[in-house]
Amino acid sequence: MRPLEDIRIVSLEQYGAGPFGSMHLAELGAEIIKVEDPSVGGDVGRSVPPFAKDGDSLFFQSFNRDKSSITLDIRTAEGRTVFEDLVRSADAVYSNLRGDVPEKLRIRYSDLREVNPRIVCCSLTGFGMTGPRSKEPGYDYVLQALGGWMSLTGEPGGAPQKTGPSLVDYCGGYVAAISLLAAIHAARRDGVGTDCDLSLYDTAISLLAYPGTWHLSAGYEPARTYHSAHPSLIPFQAFEAADGWLVVGCAKEKFWQRLTVVMDRPELAEDPRFLTFADRNTHRDVIVPLLEDIFRARTVADWLAPLYAAGVPCAPINDVAGALTDPHTLERELIASVETDAFGEVRSLRSAVRVGPPGDDRAPTRPAPPMGADTDRVLRELGYDDDRIAALHAAGVLGS
């Protein structure tokens, strides 16, 4: 058995952040019953271009493997009844909607505790269910701007930049997954469920981490750094070689000593201006241009071989194709392959969350489901007979 096979989560999720979080739990065996509103065509992620057709998209496949899908309009009386029957059988109700929507849909713990006292109601919203922005929609770009991230990303003097991947969304999904598991554990222990009021805003602010601590405690003013350099550890940045770019990171003094040997410049290690991190930071304007000139003299491959041999942290700056074909990516089984009706074989990225010994911690994976594919099966598992299911279909509660 996979670790979470005894967990059932009813999910009112959409787009990226919410589905990303629950997909990790699904890969670990949790049953994710994805409730899609038929009146709006289900999860909007199904129609994200450019690779979208027949109610499916490669975007949707990226976030929804290993889940079940039912169509259900919970705003109708009949749909509400079905939803509450689902809640009785579940450990959690999970959603990523605007902060004021959980109250409107009556999916908070105060709304559902009479149905299931142990239910966990986890809401991942843009700004949380309290605070002056709680009714605003939240998207990764918006949160990276508000959270200060864009002021730290890019080259000094250039335009503010967002990170390449939507990291606030994805980190918010991880936050939701951790919170869900913790709350379900407590509910099983204590017999009482709870709310989890999570937000992408909280996630973005919390991930300011040590620059935030430095600012709050010592008045430090974080800023963008040249070639993505660490703010105080030198050298730790991107360097241009003769034919491309690489990152070299001397996070310990021993790495600096080894680097000077690899560069055939051991005298730099003895130069009083460059003896320590503090010294090199003081003389940043001298040491960084000097290192740049040295790195430009060889190709990336010519640098990497001796750096690896010396144990100096380093890497080529790959493009996406390079990252996905790296031998380590393949050996770690990070790529899932599934067959879909709309696109044939779809290759996507597996979860980084793993449980089990190396080599025995990957279970088979299923493609993201067609909208409503599991509706009748899930209802039968709740005890609904064919006549009742047919009546719900006829009433439009389950969609056309």
pLDDT in tens, 265-275: 999 999 999 99
Q: Are 377 and 84 in contact (CB under 8 A)?
A: no
Looking at 317, 340, 367, which one is the last position of a domain?
A: 317
pLDDT at position 359 is 81
Q: How is residue 47 annotated by DSSP?
A: G
Residue ending a domain, choose from 295, 317, 339:
317
- The pLDDT value recorded for residue 10 is 98
Say if residue 80 is in the same domain as residue 135.
yes
pLDDT of residue 360 exceeding 90, the answer is no
Q: What residue type is 386 in one-letter code? A: D
CA 388 to the chain's CA centroid: 39
CA 227 – CA 156 distance, rounded (Å)? 9
Give residue 82's pLDDT band: very low, low, confident or very high (50, 70, 90): very high
Residue-level pLDDT at 190 = 98
CATH number at residue 278: 3.30.1540.10
- Give 101-157 pLDDT, tens digit per residue: 999 999 999 999 999 999 999 999 999 999 999 999 999 999 999 999 999 999 999
217 domain residue, yes or no? no
* Domain harbouring 161, CATH code: 3.40.50.10540
Residues 347 and 237 in one domain: no
Any domain includes 116: yes
List the catalytic residue out of 169, 197, 202, 374. Answer: 169
46 and 85, same domain (yes or no): yes
Q: Is 71:398 a contact under the CB 8 Å cutoff?
A: yes
Mean residue pLDDT of the chain comes to 96
pLDDT at residue 1 tops 90: no
**Sorting pLDDT into bands at 50, 70 and 90, what band is 234?**
very high
Is 376 an active-site residue?
no
Are 118 and 194 in the same domain?
Answer: yes
84 and 45 both lie in a single domain: yes
DSSP-H helix ranges across the chain: 17-27, 58-63, 77-88, 101-105, 109-112, 140-146, 149-152, 167-190, 200-206, 209-218, 253-262, 267-270, 277-282, 284-295, 300-310, 320-325, 327-331, 375-381, 386-394
pLDDT of the residue at 262 = 98
pLDDT digits (tens, 9 = 90+) for 307-356: 999 999 999 999 999 999 999 999 999 999 999 999 999 999 999 999 99
Gap between the Cα atoms of 211 and 366, Å rounded: 41
Task: Please indicate, yes or no, if residue 216 is contained in any of the structural domains.
Answer: no
Q: Are 16 and 100 in contact (CB under 8 A)?
A: no
Residues 187 and 302 in one domain: no
Assess whether 367 and 301 both reside in one domain.
no
Q: How are strands ordered across the β-sheet holding 31-36?
A: 68-71, 31-36, 8-12, 92-95, 120-125, 194-199
| Closest by CA position to 193, among listed 270, 111, 82 | 111
Q: Does residue 171 share a domain with residue 61?
A: yes
Whether 93 is covered by a domain: the verdict is: yes
In a domain, 90, yes or no: yes
What mean pLDDT is predicted for residues 367-386?
97
DSSP assignment letter at 274:
G
Quick check: helix, strand or coil at residue 186?
A: helix
Note whether residue 81 is domain-resident. Answer: yes
Half-sphere CA count of 340, side-chain side, radius 13 A: 27
**Sign for the pseudo-dihedral over CA of 24, 27, 31, 33:** positive
Same domain? 112 vs 137: yes
Residue 299 belongs to domain spanning = 227-317
399 belongs to a structural domain: no
- Going from the C-alpha of 275 to that of each of 220, 279, 283, 302, 351, the distances in angstroms are 24, 6, 11, 26, 42
Among the candidates 261, 291, 317, a domain finishes at 317
For residue 232, give the DSSP letter: S
Interatomic CA distance for residues 61 and 56, integer angstroms = 8
Confidence of residue 400 (pLDDT cuts 50, 70, 90): confident
Both 117 and 191 in a single domain?
A: yes
Residue 170 dihedral angles phi and psi, to the nearest 5°: -70, -40
User: pLDDT digit string (tens) for 153-184?
Assistant: 999 999 999 999 999 999 999 999 999 999 99
pLDDT in tens, 27-54: 999 999 999 999 999 999 999 999 999 9
- As a whole-number percent, the residues of the chain with pLDDT over 70 amount to 100
Confirm whether 213 is domain-assigned. no
What is the distance between the alpha carbons of residues 351 and 365, in angstroms, rounded to a whole number?
A: 11
| Residues 28 and 142 both lie in one domain | yes
Domain count, the chain: 2
Contact 222, 151 (CB under 8 A): yes
Rounded Cα distance, 195 and 178, in Å: 14
Instruction: Say yes or no: 196 and 301 in one domain.
Output: no
